[in-house]
Structure 1
Amino acid sequence: MNWLRGGSAEPQPRAAEDEQPLLDEDEESRCSSQDVESTIKQLPRKTSSKRRIIVLAVLLTTSIISLAAAIYLLASHTLFPKTDHRTHHIKDSPIKNIVILVQENLSFDTIAGGLTYNPDIDGLVNRTFCNPANVSDPKSPKVCAKPLGKNVAADDPDHSIAGGNQQVYGTDHPDLSIHSPDMHGFVTEQIRAHGIEGDLLRAGEVINYYTPDHVPVFNALAENFLLFDKWFAAVPGPTNPNRAYLTSGTSHGHGFNDRAFDVSALPQVSIFEQLSAANISWINYSNTTGFAPDAMFYRWTVQSGHSRTSIKPIHQFYTDARTGNLPRFTWINPECCSYTSFHPPSPINLGEGFVKSIYEALRASPQWNETLFILTFDEHGGFADHVPPPENVPPGDEIPYTEVAGDGQPTTFHFDRLGIRVPTLLISPWVGRGVVEHSPARQAGEYTHTSILKYVAELWGLDILTPRVEWSPSFGDLIGLDGLRGDTPVLLPEPADF
């Protein structure tokens, strides 16, 4: 396992060179003395020496008090609020263990748009959703979504940031003042990415979806637990930037799966570092093949030694679940990208089989009654969805990303738009059965990947990592409403063979 890196050769974290004190000490003393001197010069020349001393003492005292008050206000965030403050703590939560499985590359409409158990799901069952073959040609033939998804996708759709621009806005260079997110560019981008002009049947795979019979495992989980139908990926782009947002609230300016992720070059604080600082146990169980597990994105993981102590192969997860020895925070990486991850050409039924094995191991675990299992997908993978992603959201930091679009011109992204909708489930004996959650009722914003970090911060009293996490609504109020359930299924259906 080549991701178990360590040693003195690893790069050291970059110093925070752009962080400066609010007030330089020399400047502080200079401003204070100048204010006092200016005031003294306004006193009558014939003032007695004693009176001068008294006035000077009063002025100095007033200046010191004012300066102390200003420092206090700064320290208490009254003047300049920080984003890394603690959020409100969830007390007496029944959840003691969190297990998170992030699968690969499916939009909400693709895997959940055909679910029929609840008519309130914002899917495709009672909707006509079409894309033109050429989004710039009003006379172009239309390709409409049909419940004809294949077990193995013929093509891996474009899921770059530039490709996402085309899919959502119908242009490589969206200007939010003139371009609307009409979600009409998926077929156009599929044709362009794979050179399949004229083959609309093949291009239509990007917009087709699955029925409950295709995805019986996912359907059973949704029927028995809580499904979000308005949960958005963090970045309208590929896997690793989204996984970085999932685990740290920012990608540090990375917009594609570059080498930095595989050499543990990301310098920001991650949830793994936070948990260790708070003495909360965690393990990243990994089934990755040729890719670094998510916890290995970060320099801290290597330099702290956690690359050798807190990253385990996937078979250890099943052992720990069976014996009741899962840590308080479990992060699971699937294989990628040929068998069980859902990422094309991974077969859908093999991905379902992997999800089924994780759930059933947790359900049989002595820790089940204290566990929240979160199943989500890192990004849409280029597959179509009809719901526009939110715009004008806070980025994780101020580092932009630029890449070359399909027209050969550069396009810059500031991480101020969310990614496309992905299916997400809360699975626990402490959530309701068959619940479909839309936008948060008592919070601003929309559910997104960093909502997980917001919830974890609330549950365990951790600092908020980034402005994106601060903006993200938590789902803590959806847990424990009706007490402990005794009707959660022990086994799930077998995956379909189609």
Structure 2
Amino acid sequence: MGWLRGESDQRPASPADSEEPLLNDTDHDHSRRSSQDEEIQRPHKTTSFSRAQTVTLSILLTTSITTVSVLIYLLATHKLPPQPNRPTNRPHHQNKALIKNVVVLVQENLSFDTLAGGLTYNPDINNIANLPLNERFCNPSNITDPSSPLVCAQPLAKNIAADDPDHSIAGGNFQVYGTDHPDPSIHKPTMQGFVSEQIRAYGINGDLNRAAEVINYYKPEHIPVFATLAENYLLFDRWFAAVPGPTNPNRAYLTSGTSHGHGWNDPSFDHSSLPQTSVFQQLTEANISWINYSNATGFAPDALFYTWTANSEQARNAIKPIDQFYTDAAAGTLPQFTWINPECCSYTSFHPPSPTDLGEGFVKSIYEAIRNSPQWNETLFILTFDEHGGFADHVAPPENVPPGDDIPYTEVARDGHPTTFHFDRLGIRVPTILISPWVEKGGVVHAPALKKEKGEYTHTSILKYVSELWGLKILTPRVEWSASFGDLILKKPRADTPARLPEPVIF
């Protein structure tokens, strides 16, 4: 296929690639009690029962006994007639039927601290703005020289980033560990190498203001769309990308629980060469409807990464242009599972050089289409980003996690030596929000609260949740390990969700 994503034909040794209520039972009982009271107050000419009264009482008694018997039988066989929809206090795993549609939008290339680092509406957010004054997040300008000038995170991120930071596997190694070849027995994830990697990637000599772009973050007034969504729904401050590397391997993990050993944006993705089972195949085989709405420009929609999709006419027909999403949302005909590809990488995806205000505008349009759709009250909308894009974050990603499979990946690092990755570390934190009338307003989610959850919130948490929601098979060990967010679904919906979001700003 003629899909291309950026410079997908070259390995990244330099930087890699948005009505009146019905009477309830009490009311009916009260009506019956009032009628009976009136009957009791009427004078009777005699206290003896007539033959007609005796027959009537016998019929009533027989009917009551029959009714009770039927009810007992129905209870015993679980065949009670359907009851009206009322909020209940059922456990969350029984509440899953309340969510009938899942919409996922995966934007491009921003770390959590970059986009959410300035949010202050909740002091519990683990971000730059909420760090103690004596714990500023800084990087040395030369990680090999302890006396080199420090570059500290400031709320000075630009609407359009000057450079596209390195987000290859090797670049991620250097950013997290300060070396291209980390040895877990020696190197710790200090998160001190972002500025140094930016300087060596772009040959920045002495211009620390330009190098600081990789560690700076946005003020809330610069990202009113994202800030408003966070304040009204559930923000994760410990959601990690699946892979500490570029876009397509992360999107493969997002949709199949593994990248099948792919660690860079190689032509396999554009040629539908990935052989593993994807969530799209699973859904099709389970007769669950799905559509991959794509705004992609010049590269394959995520569903087309897979050989199965390319070989299935039904699956190919489920890939539609983004305009169809807005039509379907307005008509209330979105499928059970909606996957949205953004444009990449110049306009609305957030991927440099995409302007931030245009990325915000795209997210706003998707949200408002869902929020004002007839399907809103049964929808869960997940907004996340595929990877950190080389931008800095102060929280170290987890190590020693199960990979999706046992296929390693090797690339040549900037120092000219090969480095091998076994997919046993998560990627860097990315901004993620659960959006629905069925989630808490303004909450912040850290590590999983339930003891049964053994892993972390990460991209494959979406697959874990979907498998629980629709009874699908767990695709890979990484999905099995990942924490589900099903326990975050409320027992009753909210009625205070905003129909519109603020307009994006140019700054």
TM-score where L is the length of structure 2: 0.80
Contact 1:104/1:379 (CA < 8 Å) preserved in 2?
A: yes
1:298 aligns with 2:306: yes
**Alpha-carbon separation, structure 2, partners of 1:316 and 1:258:** 29
Contact map agreement 1:90 1:458 (CA 8 A) in 2: no
Alpha-carbon distance between aligned partners in 1 of 2:436 and 2:255, rounded to the nearest angstrom = 21
Matched, 1:415 2:423: yes
CA-CA distance at 1:308 after TM superposition: 3.1
| Kept in 2: contact 1:97–1:372 (CA 8 A) | yes
Residue in structure 2 matched with residue 452 of structure 1 by the alignment: 462
Q: 2:93, 2:339 → 1: CA distance? A: 22
User: What secondary structure is seen at the aligned counterpart in 2 of 1:252?
Assistant: coil
Contact 1:131–1:143 (8 Å) recurs in 2: yes
Note if contact 2:120-2:130 (Cα within 8 Å) is conserved in structure 1.
no
Query: Which residue is equivalent to 2:486?
Result: 476
Identify which of 154, 168, 183 aligns with 2:162. 154
- Contact kept, 8 Å, 1:282 with 1:330, in 2: the verdict is yes
Against the structure 1 CA distance between its residues 247 and 90, is the aligned structure 2 distance closer, same or farther, given a 3 Å change threshold?
farther
Contact 1:245 1:251 in 2 (8 A): yes
| Aligned partner letter, 1:233 | A
Q: What is the deviation of 1:126?
A: 3.3
Helix, strand or coil for the counterpart of 2:354? coil
Contact 2:93–2:487, Cα closer than 8 Å, also in 1: no
- Take 2:214 and 2:316, find their aligned partners in 1: how far apart are those partners? 40
Asked if 2 retains the 8 angstrom alpha-carbon contact of 1:110 and 1:207, the reply is: yes
Go from structure 1 to structure 2 and tell me whether the alpha carbon gap of 1:248 and 1:369 turns closer, same or farther (over 3 Å shift).
same
Off by >6 Å, runs of 4+ in structure 1: none
Partner deviation per Cα, 1:6-36 (whole Å, 9 max, x = no partner): xxxxxxxxxxxxxxxxxxxxxxxxxxxxxxx
Q: 2:107 aligns with which of 99, 103, 107?
A: 103
Conservation of the 8 A alpha-carbon contact between 2:96 and 2:486? no
Aligned partner of 2:253 in structure 1 is: 245
Aligned to 1:133: 141
1:486 aligned to which of 491, 495, 498: 495
Equivalent residue of 1:440, what SS?
A: coil
Given candidates 426, 429, 436, the residue that maps to 1:428 is 436
Amino acid at match of 1:474: S
1:444 Cα shift?
A: 1.9
Q: Which amino acid aligns with 2:374?
A: P
* 1: CA distance, partners of 2:231 / 2:209: 32
Which residue does the alignment assign to 2:243?
Answer: 235
* Partner Cα distance (2:478, 2:205) in 1: 39
SS in 1 for 2:97: coil
- Secondary structure in 2 matching 1:273: helix
Match of 1:43 in 2: none
Deviation of 1:92 after TM superposition, in Å, equals: 4.8
**In the TM superposition, what are the counterparts of 1:308-327 in structure 2 within 5 Å?**
308-327=316-335
Matched, 1:123 2:127: yes
Give the alignment partner of residue 336 of structure 1, picking from 329, 338, 344: 344
How far does residue 441 in structure 1 lie from its aligned partner after superposition? 1.1
Partner of 2:290: 282
Give me the whole-angstrom Cα distance separating, in 1, the residues matched to 2:398 and 2:500: 37
Q: CA deviation at 1:306?
A: 3.5
CA distance in 1, matches of 2:165, 2:94: 41
How many equivalent pairs are there? Answer: 414
Change (3 A) 1:92 1:134: closer
**Distance in 2 between residues matched to 1:319 and 1:302, nearest whole Å:** 25
Contact map agreement 1:90 1:459 (CA 8 A) in 2: no
- How many angstroms apart in 2 are the aligned matches of 1:417 and 1:92? 30
Alignment deviations for residues 101-135 of structure 1 (CA, whole Å, 9 cap, x no partner): 00000000000010010000000113310000011
Secondary structure, counterpart of 1:131 in structure 2: strand
> CA shift at 1:91, angstroms?
5.6
One-letter amino acid of the structure 2 residue matched with residue 493 of structure 1: P
State the match for 1:461 in structure 2.
471
Q: Is the 8 A contact 2:96 2:469 kept in 1?
A: no
Contact 2:348 2:362 in 1 (8 A): yes
Larger Rg: 2
Q: Within 2, Cα distance between the matches of 1:262 and 1:286?
A: 14
Secondary structure at the counterpart of residue 234 of structure 1: coil
Task: Give the fraction of aligned pairs with identical amino acids, expressed as a percent.
Answer: 77
One-letter amino acid of the counterpart of residue 195, structure 1? G
SS in structure 1 opposite 2:222? coil
Secondary structure of 1:213 counterpart: helix
User: 2:244, 2:375 → 1: CA distance?
Assistant: 36
State the partner residue of 1:94: 98
Q: Following the alignment from structure 1 to structure 2, what is the Cα–Cα distance between the partners of residues 322 and 133? A: 50
The residue aligned with 1:497 is 506
Q: 1:386-408 CA deviation, whole Å, 9 max, x = no partner?
A: 00000000000000000000100
CA distance in 2, matches of 1:405, 1:308: 37
Letter in 2 for 1:118: N
Are the equivalent residues in 2 in contact too, given 1:91–1:459 (CA < 8 A)? Answer: no
Query: Which amino acid letter does the alignment assign opposite residue 469 of structure 1?
Result: V
Matches of residues 144-183 of structure 1 in structure 2 within 5 Å? Answer: 144-183=152-191
**C-alpha deviation, 1:172, in angstroms:** 0.4
- C-alpha separation between the residues in 2 aligned to 1:247 and 1:432? 26
Q: Is the 8 A contact 2:175 2:197 kept in 1?
A: yes
Contact 1:374-1:425 within 8 A present in 2 as well: yes
User: Contact 1:464–1:470 at 8 Å: present in 2 too?
Assistant: yes
